Structure 1
Amino acid sequence: MEGTLIMTEQDRKRYVRAMEVIEGRMDMDTASRLVQLKRRQMARIVARVRQAGARGVQHRLRNRPSNHRLGEQKRRAIEQIVREQYADFGPTLAAEKLGERQGLAVSVGTVRKIMVAEGIWHAGKQGKRHRARRERRERRGEMVQVDGSHHEWFEGRRAKAVLLAFIDDATSRLAYAMFVEGETTEAVMKAMWEYIDGNGLPLSIYVDRDSIYVVNRQATVEEQLRDTQPQTHFDRAMEELGVQVILARTPQAKGRVERLFKTLQDRLVKEMRLRGISTLAEANRYLWEEYLPAHNKRFAVEPREPQDAHRAAPSAERLAAVFTVREARTVQNDYTVRYRNQVYQIGKEQAVRISPRQRVIVEERLDGTRHFRYKGVALHVTDVSSMTRPRVNGGRRMKSMAIPSRVERWKPAPDHPWRNRPVTDDEAPREGASLATLPQRPRAKVEEPCHF
């Protein structure tokens, strides 16, 4: 409305004190102390109020364009580049790429204002934060959050893939990440091996309740008698290495790795798009050589305690024996063990005595080799699958023979002796019966008695 002056609370207080000084009801030192300004600044405000009235307390640049604003030509150039190349980028990432690729040093706030004004980007609503707060662990390696993200990482340039990520709880450092075809036990074991090889053994890992980490069934009778709980192959491997597995009950509980994936699904996807990466090998190479160092430089923080809680990594032979899929098999009477449609012969000379019907452990390692153990002792076995006949139809052996498509009933030829034999009185047709219905049975053979 014309003639109305909008003032802030601070401006109103300064105007009141200035008028009291002008009217002689307050001295300059008291007024400057009440509005928390230096005496010289308060004197300037009093002088401007005497000259311009209430407008004298307002800043002279209010409602005027900034002296450091972008030129219209540069602003249009930035808007065009962002629209053509970074339309789905956030303001922060778009500002970084403008500096890296186009050499335009623009603040994030300026890019945000341009993108909002042109309708390129809309600020999303902040979700309700979880009220329970868990403090970070004090040392690096005390706890590592592990998870896999199923996402369209390559935006259709190849089939979908899974990103396995390991983030340290104390520092938010992305310690290791790897693209795999699927989140399987073997893939997680391989990624964990690589993490241990590069960082050492952590004290604990924080995971969700996927079937890779927890068995969703009741303990069997044998397990109850041994007073043990059912374990997955990965959980058993972590127990042998002395790494505690902590299971999260909600996604919010492991929010650090969930927020990490939100960042990666924004930044990493766009970085691979700009480089035209379309294979797992290229993606992992870029991830390990370029992205991880840059990500940690930007997002990692210092731990509260400088000591590293990681323990020394075991030898490669030890890790190869631990990261295995183990299953029990029964020894047959011929001292053979059948595993995944293959037959293995147990040698006569062994370091431990073994008999038929006993159970041996078959270890399938990540390199594809199979090892057999009994009471923890390795067994010498030979693959004899080529010497055995295949088992079909539920394990029963069947002859290999051609099965005719249609079985025809045999009929004797017209000149066959059966058709020309005389008819007995019992086989004579009744009155009115057709001769075609006569049974054609073979004649009984009559032999002459032997005389001695």
Structure 2
Amino acid sequence: MTQRLAAEKMGVSDRWVRSLLAQMETRGDAVVVHGLRGRESNRRIAEETKTKAMALLKSPDWHDFGPTFASQQLAKRHKIGVSKETLRQWMMADGIWESHSRKVKEAHPWRPRRSHYGELVQWDTSDHDWLEGRGEPVRYLVRMIDDATSRSWGRFVWHDGTRENMGVLWEYVERFGRAVDYYTDRDSMFAVPPRPGESRQQQREADRLTQIGRALRELGIGWIAAYSPQAKGRVERSFSTDQDRLIKELRLAKVKTMQAANEFLEKEYWPDWNERFTKAPRGKQDLHRPLPEGCDLAAALSHVESRVIANDYTFAFAGKRYQIARDDLRSGMKRQSLRVELRLSGELKARYEGRYLQISECGQRPPAAPKARSGKPVRKDHNAGGKSRWMDGFWNKPSPPLWQIIGDAQ
């Protein structure tokens, strides 16, 4: 075999074949073995770095970290740059991670993302022990996630109620503007349950709204109801991520209070989430809208009820009576309805025909005095409630002859 033919079969140059032949005289067949075989790679991670990383992963605060999240947190908090696959091999060799194949789950119809940022926002609450029993009981995370981009915002709250959810909506509108539509479940905060025997058509015609539904309508925001958890799968899956990542990050940050947890969300978690997981929308236009001129966000995001003005220019609300100031009195107000707003700040406002009134609490109305009875006292046995006994035996008594009755009358 010629040197040129050998070079073609080996995929090398003729010159390299001649070099190998020259080396065979001194080294023999060992010339075909690569010179780096058996030597450590120049890119090999130092043993000290591996030891430090594994010591952290075996500590109590890191006991449930997976390779991917552990790799990110080691780089962020300890400046240890290790790929997730290298870390996975270390963890498997040390017995703190087991490889497992993913199971095929039931597939649901796929819905494409909306085209524009701000076109649809999914809104939900996750009930979980976020601080794992440390310090204050932080259980409810209210989250809003944009359907087109997965950009998120949310707050920890004490209760999953109307007031708390309105507060999170207030912050979202102030930061980003009014979304076109919100997508939620049919919780009683968002939807009024149908009455027995009421059809869908009758329910739409009745147009009964919850406080949040009324607030969204006043702000010009649409509302869409989800009829299954899978329908709002984007926010449901994000909660699964939160219950894995957020809990561990709160643990590493030693968070123990509601205030500290919300500060961590705002300064650490949401910026990192939005940088790591958001997607570019198909459309370039941001559909979030600013508040229209003259729109009072505090008035819309409040508990609103309608009350009737009494003849003494007072109205009742929450078991108390309130007096309208004399300077705000107008003719024709009596027996008319006014709008009462209990703001998120606890302040009470009353609005009549588009104008806010000065009001003051006047306490409970005294009970009406009983009417004085006039004339003779009523006999206690009078009629006896329809059970008088004066007719008992009347028809059993014998009557005198007719001629005797006539004679007595004359």
TM range (shorter): 0.7 to 0.9
Out of 270, 274, 284, which is 1:296 matched to?
274
Deviation per residue, 1:149-168 (Å, 9 max, x gap): 11111111121331111111
What letter matches 1:242 in structure 2? G
Q: CA deviation at 1:38?
A: 7.4
Alignment RMSD, CA only? 3.7
Q: Which residue of structure 1 lines up, in the alignment, with residue 329 of structure 2?
A: 350
Check the 8 A contact 1:351/1:377 in 2, yes or no: no
Q: Structure 1: how far apart are the matches of 2:91 and 2:159?
A: 37
3-state SS, counterpart of residue 116 of structure 2: coil
Q: Contact 2:108–2:230 (CA<8 Å) still a contact in 1?
A: no
1:300-315 alignment, distance < 5 Å = 300-314=278-292
Alignment pair present for 1:276 and 2:254: yes
SS in 1 for 2:299: helix
Aligned residue for 2:322, secondary structure, equals strand
Say whether 1:94 aligns with 2:67: no
Cα deviations by residue, 1:322-378 (Å, 9 ceiling, x for unpaired): 11111233444433212112111234553562223x443321111211122345444
Q: How many pairs align? A: 343
CA contact (8 A) 2:119 2:288 kept: yes
What are the superposed Cα offsets for residues 110-129 of structure 1, whole Å, 9 maximum, x if unpaired? Answer: 11122233332345644615
One-letter code aligned to 1:82: L
Aligned to 1:228: 206
Question: Which of the numbers 357, 360, 371 marks the counterpart of 2:338?
Answer: 360
- Partners of 2:72 and 2:355 lie apart in 1 by 58
Residue in 1 aligned with 2:190? 213
Q: Residues 94 and 343 from structure 1, CA distance in 2 versus in 1: closer, same or farther, beyond 3 angstroms?
A: same
**Contact 2:138–2:257 under 8 Å retained in 1:** no
Cα distance in 1, alignment partners of residues 311 and 332 from structure 2: 15
Q: Give the superposition deviation at 1:231.
A: 0.7
Q: Rate the CA distance shift 1:277–1:373 in 2: closer, same or farther, 3 A.
A: same
Instruction: Classify 1:267/1:397 alpha carbon distance in 2 versus 1 (closer, same or farther; 3 Å).
Output: farther
The answer for the alignment partner of 1:128 in structure 2 is 105
Whole-angstrom distance in 2 between the partners of 1:151 and 1:225: 34
| Partner in structure 1 of residue 396 of structure 2 | none
Write the distance in 2 (CA, Å) between the matches of 1:226 and 1:301.
Answer: 36
* Letter of the 1:135 counterpart: P
Assess if the C-alpha contact under 8 Å between 1:251 and 1:258 holds in 2.
yes
Match for residue 93 of structure 2 among 81, 101, 117: 117
Q: Structure 1 CA distance, aligned partners of 2:70 and 2:321?
A: 60
Structure 2: distance between partners of 1:353 and 1:208: 43
8 A Cα contact 1:201 1:311, kept in partner: yes
- Which residue of 376, 379, 382 maps to 2:360? 382
User: 1:404 maps to what in 2?
Assistant: none
User: Equivalent of 1:153, from 112, 122, 130?
Assistant: 130
Residue number in structure 1 paired with 2:53: 78
- Aligned residue type for 2:216: M
Residues 39 and 252 of structure 1: CA distance in aligned 2, closer, same or farther (over 3 Å): farther
Asked whether the 8 Å contact 1:328–1:360 carries over to 2, the reply is: yes
Structure 1 residues 132-147: aligned runs within 5 Å: 132-147=109-124
Q: 1:196 aligns with which of 135, 149, 173?
A: 173
- Quote the residue 1:434 is aligned against: none
Where structure 1 has 5 or more consecutive residues not aligned to the other structure, the ranges are 1-21, 45-58, 399-452
Q: CA deviation at 1:76?
A: 4.3
Greater Rg over alpha carbons, structure: 1
2:319 maps to 1:341: yes
Q: Which has the higher contact order (CA 8 A, sep 6+)?
A: 2
Give the 5 Å matches for 1:170-181: 170-174=148-152, 176-181=153-158
Q: Cα distance 1:128–1:351, how it changes in 2: closer, same or farther (>3 A)?
A: farther
- TM-score if structure 1 supplies the norm length? 0.66
For the 8 Å contact 1:161–1:179, the answer to whether it is kept is yes
Report if the CA contact (8 A) 1:352-1:377 is conserved.
no
Q: Distance in 2 between matches of 1:226 and 1:206?
A: 18
Change (3 A) 1:66 1:302: farther
| 1:186-240 superposed Cα distances (whole Å, 9 cap, x missing partner) | 11111111111111111111111111111113399xx979943211011111111
1:243 aligns with 2:221: yes
Matched residues in 1 for 2:77 and 2:213: separation?
46
Match of 1:13 in 2: none
Q: Gaps spanning 5+ residues in structure 2: where? A: 18-32, 371-410
Indicate the residue corresponding to 1:103 in structure 2.
Answer: 79
- Work out the CA distance in 1 between the residues paired with 2:203 and 2:269: 50
Rate the CA distance shift 1:138–1:240 in 2: closer, same or farther, 3 A.
Answer: same
TM-score computed with the length of structure 2 as normaliser? 0.72
Shift of 1:106: 1.0
